[in-house]
Amino acid sequence: MNNTATETPKGHEVIKGYLRTLDGSPGVYRMLDANGAVLYVGKARNLKNRVSNYAKPTGHSARIGRMISNTTSMMFLTTQTETEALLLEQNLIKQLKPRYNVLLRDDKSFPSIVITGNHDFPKIAKHRGRKGKHGEYFGPFASATSVNRTLHHLQRIFLLRNCTDSDFATRTRPCLQYQIARCSGPCVGKISADEYQGLVNQARLFLQGKSTEFQETMAREMAEASEALEFERAAALRDRIRALTNVQSSQGINPKTVPEADVVALHMDGDQACIQVFFIRAHQNWGNHAYYPRNTSGADADEVMESFLAQFYDNKNPPKLILVSNAVANADLLTDALTTKRGNKVEIVEPQRGERAELVLNAQRNARESLARKMSESATQAKLLKGLGEAMNLSGPPQRVEVYDNSHIQGAFAVGAMIVSGPDGLMKSAYRKFNIKSEDTIPGDDFGMMKEVLERRFKALIKEDSDRQGENWPDLLLIDGGAGQVSAVAEILDALGVKDVPFVGVAKGLDRDQGKEEFYRTGKPVFALQRNDPVLYFIQRLRDEAHRFAITTHRAKRSKAIGVTTLDDVPGVGATRKRAILAHFGSAKAASRASLKDLKAVDGLSNALAQVIYDFFHDKG
């Protein structure tokens, strides 16, 4: 009896069948499994030639062989050029996250420093996101920490303001920044426009890597002030020079022959990889960031590097020079794509000697050390997840643990929070917050809040991925609370038809002592773990992180609401007039009780608008 006739055909024979319909056009191909999930996305200069390689029964690496054996169908898109195919390939990889592609994780934008250009007294500030027309941008910096540290020093050196334009316009007295020598006080006339512009020019030179000129000038001015017995001015100049020295030393390696480059170094160990990116701008090191690409098992280093660079610069402007630790697959094609994106020539270079090679070796050492730390942490995390699975009687270690908590003040500003942990630790990009907004949820009802949060979470999950092909379905839910919360979760999941996602309530013992947590499951007795069990500490850390995230979200919502007043509903009252009214009366409540004569006395308020405000508060009946 032959059962193979009913099986879905797969492998190189299926792939071979597509060759009859393909020509030599460039394009992108997708390989799919029996469930329609995308296994792999690839590009080709000649689609027919590339696909014919997969149609061969032998000669493949173990990774490619597994992929071919699971392929039951393919999809194709032709393009005008191979460069277009490369860009389309990387977009599809980031969107579909195929199992056999090298995938960049944690692909975020980086902050920069901006000196605004649409004001007589420009400000210096951190900027993230799209660059506007009015301002000069310097970056990228590797992290918010590195840009904040640099800004902290720059404010001490150049005394530029960091306040908003509206705050600047309404100041009548110097702010705290002026008092602690972090600002020159332009808002209240403590410095002339020409003198302030001189400070702006010095800051611009520093961020362009030309600090020697004004550093020597400051040293000379300090000596002159000291000789003239102007000790206070000499001390201020000394502090500025010291701050400048600190920021220069904190930048570490500052190359003399490389004005601008991204240094990209790869280190691989088995099926794990780490890529370190160092940002060199204006001869200064502006920090580094580590990446751990996924699905590198069986991939060659040049393929990993190509995939990383194409995905990394998908939403970033590339520099003129990219220094790499090893060869890049299809380097000429990638160079053309990045050159088109930048608008002028981009070079990808694998240096062999000199300062460029030293920069790459330093980045590669950091990649090696970072990967060693990551693998050590992953081994510990794997043990904890295994222990968690055993403690909760799961079939295996959970790969995605979701932890839920709520926060409110007597029902006000209520929010729900979800954090996520997995094999690589906390997955902060997967965190979610839920504003409690259902009219059916009674303020302060923790059970009702939990039901609303879980209902919204799983309804969205079912809509997005009903077949559970993605990675967003949890293997375990940890709920902050006891039997009541567990009952609420059971009710919601049962109503949604979700029968196979285990959930556990985590509640403190009778004396509310950390270390005596009790665990609640539907239809099973309450249990506890040994006080010194590492899994217990792990659960406590997850619960504390969920609580921290919930509290932070709640406070942000509360702070935003506190800034809202009844004045926001008055026609014609914008932010500037609102500030003027509050400054005059002290509160919105006092303004609402003010007479028409008092309202007319507010600076910047016309008689007509004063009448509108008075009528708004007194003629509501």
8 A C-beta contact, residue 156 and residue 168: no
**Which one-letter amino acid corresponds to residue 179?**
Q
Q: Crossing angle of helices 331-342/82-96, nearest 10°?
A: 90
pTM of the model: 0.73
Instruction: Using CB atoms within 10 Å of the CB of residue 170, give its burial: 0 to 12 exposed, 13 to 18 middle, 19+ buried.
Output: middle
CATH class of the structural domain 4-96: alpha beta
Lowest-confidence segment of 300-304, 383-387, 595-599 by average pLDDT: 595-599
Q: Crossing angle of helices 354-391/534-562, nearest 10°?
A: 110
The residue-averaged pLDDT of 39-60 equals: 91
When the pLDDT of each residue in the chain is averaged and rounded to a whole number, the result is 85
For residue range 449-469, list pLDDT tens digits in order. Answer: 888 889 999 999 998 887 777
Could you give the percent of the chain with pLDDT greater than 70?
89
**Straight-line distance from the first to the last Cα atom of the chain, in angstroms, rounded to the nearest whole number:** 87
CATH class of the structural domain 566-618: mainly alpha
Q: List the 112-116 sheet strands across, edge first.
A: 124-127, 112-116, 135-138
β-strand 476-480 against 401-409: which pairing, if any? parallel
Category of 19 on φ-ψ map: left (φ > 0), alpha (ψ -120 to 50) or beta? alpha
pLDDT band at 44 (very low <50, low <70, confident <90, very high): very high
For residue range 130-182, list pLDDT tens digits in order. Answer: 787 788 898 888 888 888 888 887 888 888 999 888 888 888 888 888 888 88
Q: Where do the DSSP E strands lie in 108-221?
A: 112-116, 124-127, 135-138
Give the residue from 448, 449, 450, 504 showing the smallest Cα distance to 474: 504
Q: Crossing angle of helices 212-227/231-250, nearest 10°?
A: 150
Note the pLDDT of residue 5.
46
Lowest-confidence segment of 59-73, 223-237, 247-261 by average pLDDT: 247-261
CATH number of this structure's domain 260-373: 3.30.420.10
Residues contacting 511, CB < 8 A, separation 6+: none
CATH 1.10.150.20 in the chain, residues?
A: 566-618
Would you state the structure tokens that stand for residue 4, as one six-digit string?
């193979």
Residue 225 CA to residue 564 CA, distance in Å, equals 50
Residues contacting 496, CB < 8 A, separation 6+: 455, 458, 459, 462
Could you give the percent of the chain with pLDDT greater than 90?
38
Note the pLDDT of residue 135.
86
For residue range 397-455, list pLDDT tens digits in order. Answer: 999 999 998 886 655 677 889 999 999 899 988 999 988 776 666 666 778 888 888 99
Residue 140 CA to residue 288 CA, distance in Å, equals 10
Helix (H) or strand (E) holding 32: strand 27-32
Any idea of the CA torsion for 145, 151, 154, 159, to the nearest 10 degrees?
A: -150
Is residue 2 predicted with pLDDT exceeding 80? no
Note the pLDDT of residue 307.
93
Residue 243 is classified by DSSP as: H
Query: In Å, how far from its chain's centre is CA 150?
Result: 20
Lowest-confidence segment of 108-122, 202-216, 524-538 by average pLDDT: 202-216
8 A C-beta contact, residue 477 and residue 503: yes
**Domain spanning 401-561, CATH architecture:** 2-Layer Sandwich (3.30)
φ and ψ at residue 281, rounded to 5 degrees = -140, 135
Residue 314 is classified by DSSP as: G
Note the pLDDT of residue 212.
60
For residue range 552-596, list pLDDT tens digits in order. Answer: 887 777 666 655 567 777 777 877 788 788 777 777 777 888 888
Q: Where do the DSSP E strands lie in 377-440?
A: 401-409, 412-422, 425-426, 432-435
Residue 570 CA to residue 609 CA, distance in Å, equals 10
For residue range 293-350, list pLDDT tens digits in order. Answer: 988 778 889 999 999 999 999 888 899 999 999 999 999 999 999 999 899 999 999 9
Q: Which residues of 536-568 are buried (b: 16+ CB within 10 A; e: fewer)?
A: bebbeebbebbbebbeebbeebeeeeeeebebe
Over 317-361, what HEC string results?
CCCCEEEECCCCCCHHHHHHHHHHHHCCCCEEECCCCHHHHHHHH
Give the residue from 266, 403, 372 showing the smallest Cα distance to 325: 266
Over 444-496, what HEC string results?
CCHHHHHHHHHHHHHHHHHHHCCCCCCCCCCCEEEEECCHHHHHHHHHHHHHH
Residue 20 CA to residue 15 CA, distance in Å, equals 10
Note the pLDDT of residue 621.
41
Category of 341 on φ-ψ map: left (φ > 0), alpha (ψ -120 to 50) or beta? alpha
CATH 3.30.420.10 in the chain, residues?
A: 260-373
Q: Quote the Cα angle for 528-529-535, to 5°.
A: 135
8 A C-beta contact, residue 212 and residue 224: no
Q: Is the peptide bond before 423 cis (omega within 30 degrees of 0)?
A: no
CATH 3.40.1440.10 in the chain, residues?
A: 4-96
Q: Crossing angle of helices 483-496/446-464, nearest 10°?
A: 30
The residue-averaged pLDDT of 116-125 equals: 89
